[in-house]
Chain A
Amino acid sequence: MVTIEASTVLKRRSDVRFRIVDDEAVVLRQSVAEVLVINEIGARILELADGCNPVSAWVDALLAGYEVERDTLLADVLSFAGELTEQGLLEPVGIETPTAAAIAP
């Protein structure tokens, strides 16, 4: 299990494709032919998970859209980022999981 902290840099896994639909996101995991629906904050996190900025920077970006204390938002985002990582949608930069296409025959 990966521990997500404010300084962790996450990126979308290479097999993840997503489409924003209204306030939600339809997420397609190419390697397992799985399609998921995630809510508004999950959709924003997927957009922000560019592999460059740490989770703390996401919180700064999200604060403008939500009337909530920074610490509360950080806790929520860390929790959500952990869930998306557990579901195989995000991965920490530098700890890349091989996708189906990258596995040797």
Chain B
Amino acid sequence: MSFGERFLHNPDLFPARAGGEVWGDREIVLELPGGPYRFGGLSRAQAAIVEDRFGELCRPPAAATRLAGSPHALHGLAAGGQEVSCLLFRVEAGAFRTFDLRGWEYSLDCDATPAALRLAGLDLIARLDWRPSLGGALWTPDGGGERFAGIFENFCRVLVAYRLVELGGAVLHSAGVVRHGAAFLFLGRSGAGKTTISAASLARGAEVLSDDINALLPAPGGAQVAKLPFTGDLGERRSTRRHLPLAAVLWLEKASADELTSLSRAAALACLFSCAPFVNSDPHRREALLANLARLLPPPGGGGPLAFNLRFSRAGTFWSILDEKWSQLKPAPS
């Protein structure tokens, strides 16, 4: 099946460039890692939904521009050089196929070229273009209905994933848990146990950044984990102010007993790569992704994070094992 056929009646009519009739005159700036991200062309209803969904992460355009140079704008204008601009356009609902969604696992159709990425999904047509800086366009027939929040978030997930690779980072399917003043990233594909790990960590009083997707970014003192407002079942969805040094990456395996074993850097890199959504499937950018991850995961002796394979059980004792290991191996303060 060729690109777009799953979702569109006529994929050949996919827009060749950002253009069309915008939904309205509203503009919102989102302060997400790698941003600010400026979205124009929203209707009043769409803007209200975005503001409700992202809360304090939404800024009036003027305030956001001022914030970009502040310490709150981690890896924003100062690191990336410019904001990311996106526009929202109308498209006829009849352009999309209809589905019986029961029992269906949703994934976007992606088609990458050196200069662009095309996306198709449920009520969603989008493209990212590098001309040479990154910009985006989203076409949807939903002017502010019940599906719009999900459509907008799905577009943002892809946008942030690509933006962070540009900035030397990555977005990772992972559970991010704060302990000992640092972030532990539990990696695994869907069903690996990220939400189970998160719930067990919450029960021990730890903070969960997101149980589904977190950002890894370069910083002068080493890799940092930045909170993203894209969560599964657990985690605050309206704030991303938390960013912490990366303590360890842990590859999850469900087992009958808890066990922690060291992971080589090469194996850890492979795990990180396999958990980097969207970009790891892009033949034009996955090499850059792998290079980023290698830089973000220097040898532990050089101050880099620890890497483990974690076999965990329902007994929930993994944190005791991990705490003990951490006390033995934690990097010396720089």
Residues of A that sit less than 8 Å from B by CB: 17, 19, 21-22, 24-26, 28, 30-31, 33, 35-37, 100-101
Contact = CB atoms under 8 A, between A and B. Distances in A.
B273 A35 contact: yes
A37 B270 contact: yes
Nearest to A33: B281
Contact of A21 (B269, B274, B281): B269
A30 to B, nearest CB: 5
A28 B266 contact: no
9 contacts: A19-B294, A22-B299, A24-B265, A26-B294, A28-B287, A28-B290, A37-B266, A37-B269, A101-B283
Given A19-B294, A22-B266, A101-B283, 14 more contacts: A19-B269, A19-B291, A21-B264, A21-B269, A22-B299, A24-B264, A24-B266, A26-B266, A30-B287, A33-B280, A33-B281, A33-B286, A35-B290, A37-B270
The secondary structure that dominates the A interface is strand
Indicate the size class of the contact surface on chain B: 10 to 19
The secondary structure that dominates the B interface is helix
B290 A37 contact: no
B321 interface: no
Nearest to B268: A21
Contacts of B93: none
A27 to B, nearest CB: 9
Nearest to A24: B266
B286 A30 contact: yes
A100 B266 CA distance: 26
A21 B265 contact: yes
B267 interface: yes
A36 B273 CA distance: 10
B280 to A, nearest CB: 6
Contact of A22 (B264, B280, B287, B290): B264
